[in-house]
Amino acid sequence: MKKIDINKKIEDIKSPKFLINFALIFCFALLITGILVSKYFFFQTIVGSDNTSKVMITAPKDIEVIDSFKTEKRRREVAQKVKLVYSTADDVYIKNNLNEIIEEIENIRLDKIDEQAKVKELDVILDISDNSVKNYVISYFINASEDQLNKVYAQSDKTLTQVLNEGITEKDFEENTLAKIIRRNMEPNTPNNQSKVIVALLEQVIVPNMIVDEEATALARKNARESVAPIKVKFAKGSVIVNAGEPITQVKKEALSKAGYNILRRINYFGVLGIFCLVGIGIFSVISYIKLFEPKYFDKRHLLIVATLCVLISILAVLLPSTWSVFILPFPFFTITLSVFLNPRSSFFITVTLLTIIILSLQFSALAMSVFILSAIISTIGMTTIRYSRRFDLIRVGLYSSLMMSLIILCVYYDLGFGRLLQDITAGVLNGFFSGIFALGMIPILEGTFKVITTFGLAELGDYNQPLLKKLHEVAPGTFEHSLRVSNLAESAAEAIGADPILARVGALYHDVGKIVRPLFFVENQTYSGIENPHEKLTPRSSKMVITSHTKDGIALAKEYHIPEIIQDFMTQHHGDSLASYFYNQAVAQEGAENVKEEQFRYTGPKPNTKETAILMIADAVESASRTLKDHSQEELDALINKIIKDRLDDNQLSESPLTLKDIKVIAATLSRVLRSVFHKRIKYQESIEEIQNKENQ
């Protein structure tokens, strides 16, 4: 486990660099917080601290709002009036109970026991609370004739069927109306003595057969709620919405919102502190994410671009009129633009973080949060498929975003009216469509302001009609051709190991532009002019100074033509601090080894510190050396490439680059494959054509 040096950590925290960075982050958090809370303090001057209006406000136009409180109250009242919906249970169980109790009564009547014993047994099976009724019924069952009892039994069965058809509920039992229901369903001419016995008998077996259907009842109440139209409050043009000193109710708040006044729930200084803490957490999350997962973007320039775009979106969110749709906020533009300068994954993380801060701080709806997050996912996916050679792809991503925003709004939209729905969909479509266009316009501005080159900028720099490349072609055509070949090698090698192929290609195109200053001192340009080698008239030391100066000359030209620093690194690093061995050996031969030091014949560096510049160092040397081979077989090319790589490794020229041994092996194989395609053998077409012509002439 790695041991943490506490003292070193404390020293780092106390260092001036850390304190300056902390101060900058703190100021940025204050800036974002100030922008967001300004919505509460500068855009709400009509609202007093007691939630009353400071001035009288009239309607600038006809305004209609829904009184949600009264509407909901009315819907609750209507739903409560809906009666319970019952479903009928199985009646066989109840009828079986009647048959069983009749059978038990008959068994007791036929039993050879005295009357007192029969009374006790009947008292057990007959649960009658009124003693007088109980005594009468028991006496009736013991003393009545068979004919009388059969009539009672038949009438009980018939009455039970009638009662069950009518239905018995729990409420009937709670209100003690069962006896009344039984009598209502008897035949009208039933004698009173039999009626009393039938009621007592049926009360023993009848249970509720009507059960409340919860789902049907809930559906009925829901339909009743939905049948209630929203209660609307109208304010005619010129009428008073709220008087001075009058409390601002929810209805008046919505009316003021439609009139163009931004009314938010007021916050105190604790609320401001809460927003500041929320912003601080967001900043900490973004910085930690970039530092841990995207360290190549953890520099001031990229962080300033992120900060600039965050400030821009925050200002637009605060200035958004309440009558406008929230879906016009250009979050898709934010996602698309950041994806170009960072990458889609980082852009999505930062978008969601900023979106959370703005939605919570400005009290936007959860609907807006859902739509923007889902559209950010679509934009992120779209940015992973763009081709940086075609700027229209950014507009295509914007079109995808506009389409998906419209679909998402339709999917999750609440019942707020067709007009509001149309407004939000229109805002979403326009937002997505113009996001791609605005991103196209903003990218060059941010590139120029913060000196950060994007892949789009690289694609432009790779155009052969760029002024500096055109000048290289005209003044040093041999160097230009060499740069073209090296760029092809570097691009293929970078793509093979997962580096940036576009950056490698463009860097290779510009790496030797310094040779424009003295083109005839470089062998590849001498064949075009047909002059003698000027180095024959110079000392080795002078020749070394001329040759190695092309890196410094390249930087001067790059600054003159506004070439980004990331491309300038290719000019200074492609030789590292390697030895100009040809002139060094000449000097040793002329002056003696004891009078010549290697340091005097080395390039000024620095060494390559990225995969792309390291690839260029190898590709540049391989391309130049491959021209000297007479035999371009695979064996010769592989031997040459391996020797050049070994020399660079032995000389520690690749010690500061992030290339692994596996990367170097893949680079060597790729360079060999590309060079074999360049130096492939050709059929002698001319001899074949002459043979065909001779045959035709015969």
Query: Which of the residue ranges 10-19, 139-148, 452-461, 482-491 would you say has the lowest mean pLDDT?
Result: 10-19
Evaluate if residue 347 carries a pLDDT over 90.
yes
pLDDT of residue 166: 76
User: Spelled out in words, what is the top-level CATH class assigned to the domain 460-678?
Assistant: mainly alpha
Give the tokens for residue 553: 């000359």
Beta-bridged to residue 233, according to DSSP, are 65
Write the pLDDT tens digit of every residue in 26-81. 999 999 999 988 877 665 555 555 566 666 777 777 777 887 778 888 888 888 88
Half-sphere exposure of 449 (CA within 13 A, CB side): 11
Least reliable range by pLDDT among 24-38, 174-188, 577-591: 174-188
How many residues belong to the chain?
698
User: pLDDT-based confidence at 611, cuts 50/70/90?
Assistant: very high
What's residue 389's pLDDT? 64
SS3 state of residue 647? helix
Distances (CA, A) of 449 to 89, 442, 444, 567, 698: 80, 11, 8, 17, 75
Q: Given this model, what pLDDT does residue 568 score?
A: 92
Q: State the chain's mean pLDDT as an integer.
A: 82
What is the per-residue pLDDT across 64-74, written as a single tens digit (0 to 9) for each?
A: 788 777 888 88
Residue 545 corresponds to which tokens in the numbers above? 């100074």
Lowest mean pLDDT among 331-345, 398-412, 603-617: 398-412
Q: Position 685: which residue type?
A: Y
Give whole-number Cα distances, 620 to 10, 306, 426, in Å: 46, 36, 54
What is the C-alpha separation between 559 and 668, in angstroms, rounded?
33
Averaged pLDDT, 343-357 = 94
Cβ atoms 349, 286 nearer than 8 A = yes
d(CA 214, CA 26): 58
Q: How many whole angstroms separate alpha carbon 545 and alpha carbon 119?
A: 135
User: Encoding tokens for residue 501?
Assistant: 């192929």
Q: Please state, in angstroms and rounded to a whole number, the distance separating the CA atoms of residues 647 and 667.
A: 15
Residue 561 has pLDDT above 80, yes or no: yes
> Residue holding tokens 């609370």?
129
The residue with greater pLDDT, 108 or 357, is 357
Task: Find where tokens 């033509």 sit.
Answer: 561
**What angle separates helix 540-548 from helix 550-560, to the nearest 10 degrees?**
30
More confident residue, 351 or 129: 351
Cα–Cα dist 373/381, whole Å: 13
DSSP label of 601: G
**344, 384 contact by CB (below 8 A):** yes
Q: Residue 81: its pLDDT value, please?
A: 82
Provide the pLDDT for residue 420. Answer: 72
Of 574, 601, 572, which is closest to residue 586 (Cα–Cα)?
601
How far apart, in whole angstroms, are the C-alpha atoms of residue 307 and residue 301? 10
Q: What is the mean pLDDT of residues 237-252?
A: 75
The type of residue at 392 is F
Cis before 606 (ω within 30):
yes
Domain borders along the chain are: 6-41+266-452, 86-212, 460-678
Phi and psi at residue 211, in whole multiples of 5°?
Answer: -105, 140
d(CA 37, CA 272) in angstroms, rounded, equals 7
Residue type at position 331: F
User: What six digits make up the tokens of 7?
Assistant: 């003292």
DSSP 341-369: HS-HHHHHHHHHHHHHHHHHHTT--HHHH
Residues 6+ apart with CB under 8 A from 92: none
Among the listed residues 267, 350, 337, the one whose alpha carbon sits nearest the alpha carbon of residue 44: 267
**Cβ within 8 Å of residue 341, ≥6 positions away:** 302, 305, 443, 446, 452, 454
Tell me the C-alpha distance between 256 and 247, whole Å: 13
Q: What's the pLDDT at 187?
A: 81
Pick the more confident residue, 622 or 107: 622
Locate the DSSP E strands across 214-298.
232-235, 240-242
Interval 511-534 mean pLDDT: 79
The closest alpha carbon to 369, from 327, 328, 401, belongs to: 327
> What's the rounded Cα separation, in Å, for the pair 333 and 309?
10
pLDDT at 49: 55
